[in-house]
Chains A and B, each alone.
Chain A
């Protein structure tokens, strides 16, 4: 991103971004391929990132966080996205759960959970997706029912494709109580919860995905975040908003990796007596990737700045940034492999890793098609294509 950082970024942003890049170069990139091969993040990697405070990047100081703005959070995700998709996923889901609790949690929930999420002693996961309710969130079948004891709810259901579930200590679990969507914090050690790892993914292989099965899990009523009826309209959108910002910037890091890797190869590799970069067809690929990187950088930072400003357009800006950047990363990863040729098809090349991981950024936190639907609907609404409202009470 550094070539394309906009002028309005201040020295603090630039200094922190350089710090993030240094950390990733030293502690992440040299090991990331091994983590993906082994399909697990080592404890040492989690301890290192916890020690930096990066897992509480945007949480307030009163909850043990670094209180960084969202622009800095975006730069953090970009730097990590260049190095490891799986470790970046920990940052993503930690923010999704923590920011939802920060926004809608009770004072007790915040004081109980946020300090431990900030210092990384606790990892959180965002348990929304179900086997039959991926993009169709209103089709959730996970249920909460009132326990006869009164102070508890009983949770039953299955959640699938839950990132970081293998290592998470708490889950923010979405379901319905009397047909009204709710979200509750469920500890990993709750009796009746089983966690089944999902392995052999094409990318994000060390991100600890799992299937969660809840059988009559007792959840204290005091663990409910927000109120019944607002789980999908207010709690989930906060988590998904930060998830989209994180994923957009994660994809941006991959996109930068594709440009840098391809340019480096084009400058160094010779075919016959010509450098690869002397071929017009390769320069075309580089121009396409780099221009996408430039555009995506501006979209991502705009989304971050809108979030910092509390702008009403922040949600649309995050959707646009994630939509554009994830697709651009997929195109760039394909072109990066093409630039490298056969060497780009080997697991040892960064290009091949970007190729298998970039596609996943088009799926998580809302598929490309869901983003098109939402963005298209927003544009339609502004164009007056939505039916007139009915009177309240009719």
Chain B
């Protein structure tokens, strides 16, 4: 598992953006674009994104983290990764 110990909001957003754009081939993705608006992604995308976050950042998403606001946009997903990383490190 790849674990990045030093990360910034910009780095995380860039990595997540690349994954999302590769998955759904968007020409561009703004930081506050809603990923779960109807028709944008498949029903499996939510769990694919979660799997990517876990594998890339070495964090475990548990049932307490099940909040759509943690994954709704690049802004929220990046904030979630940084929050979990900080919690793991402390």
Which residues of A are at the interface with B, using a C-beta cutoff of 8 A? Answer: 104-106, 225-227, 229-230, 232-234, 237-238, 310-312, 314-316, 374, 377-378, 381-384, 386-394
- CB nearest to A377 among chain B residues: B42
The answer to whether B52 and A388 touch across the interface, beta carbons within 8 angstroms, is no
B24 nearest CB across to chain A (Å): 4
Given A310-B54, A312-B55: A381 in contact with B46 (beta carbons within 8 A): no
State the CA gap A230–B46 with chains docked (Å). Answer: 10
- Cβ contacts under 8 Å, A230 to chain B: 66
- Cβ contacts under 8 Å, A388 to chain B: 26-27
Tell whether B72 is near chain A: CB-to-CB under 8 Å.
Answer: yes
The answer to whether A227 and B34 touch across the interface, beta carbons within 8 angstroms, is no
What are 25 A-B pairs with beta-carbon distances under 8 A? Answer: A104-B62, A227-B66, A232-B43, A234-B46, A237-B47, A310-B51, A310-B55, A312-B23, A312-B48, A315-B44, A316-B44, A377-B42, A381-B41, A384-B24, A387-B40, A388-B26, A389-B26, A389-B29, A389-B33, A389-B35, A390-B34, A390-B37, A391-B30, A391-B34, A392-B34
Which residues of B are at the interface with A, using a C-beta cutoff of 8 A? Answer: 1, 19, 22-27, 29-30, 32-35, 37, 39-44, 46-48, 50-52, 54-55, 62-63, 66-68, 72-73
The answer to whether A229 and B55 touch across the interface, beta carbons within 8 angstroms, is no
B55 interface neighbour in A104, A225, A311, Cβ under 8 Å: A311
State the CA gap A237–B43 with chains docked (Å). Answer: 9
- CB nearest to A318 among chain B residues: B44
The answer to whether A233 and B46 touch across the interface, beta carbons within 8 angstroms, is yes
Chain A interface helix/strand/loop/mixed: loop
State the CA gap A245–B34 with chains docked (Å). Answer: 31
B72 interface neighbour in A232, A378, A392, Cβ under 8 Å: A392
B37 nearest CB across to chain A (Å): 5
B86 nearest CB across to chain A (Å): 22
- Cβ contacts under 8 Å, A106 to chain B: 63
- Cβ contacts under 8 Å, A389 to chain B: 26, 29, 33-35, 37, 40
State the CA gap A380–B51 with chains docked (Å). Answer: 21
Given A234-B46, A310-B1, A310-B54: A384 in contact with B33 (beta carbons within 8 A): no
B48 nearest CB across to chain A (Å): 5
The answer to whether A382 and B23 touch across the interface, beta carbons within 8 angstroms, is yes
State the CA gap A234–B24 with chains docked (Å). Answer: 19
The answer to whether B63 and A226 touch across the interface, beta carbons within 8 angstroms, is yes
- Cβ contacts under 8 Å, A227 to chain B: 63, 66-67
- Cβ contacts under 8 Å, B25 to chain A: 381-384, 386
State the CA gap A316–B27 with chains docked (Å). Answer: 23
State the CA gap A230–B50 with chains docked (Å). Answer: 13
- Cβ contacts under 8 Å, A377 to chain B: 42
- CB nearest to B34 among chain A residues: A392
State the CA gap A309–B47 with chains docked (Å). Answer: 15
Given A104-B63, A227-B63, A387-B39: A238 in contact with B23 (beta carbons within 8 A): no
A84 nearest CB across to chain B (Å): 31
State the CA gap A225–B35 with chains docked (Å). Answer: 25
Other than the given A310-B54, A381-B42, A384-B27, 18 more pairs (CB < 8 A) read A104-B63, A227-B63, A227-B66, A229-B66, A233-B46, A237-B47, A310-B51, A310-B55, A312-B51, A374-B43, A382-B22, A382-B25, A386-B39, A386-B40, A389-B29, A392-B32, A392-B33, A392-B73
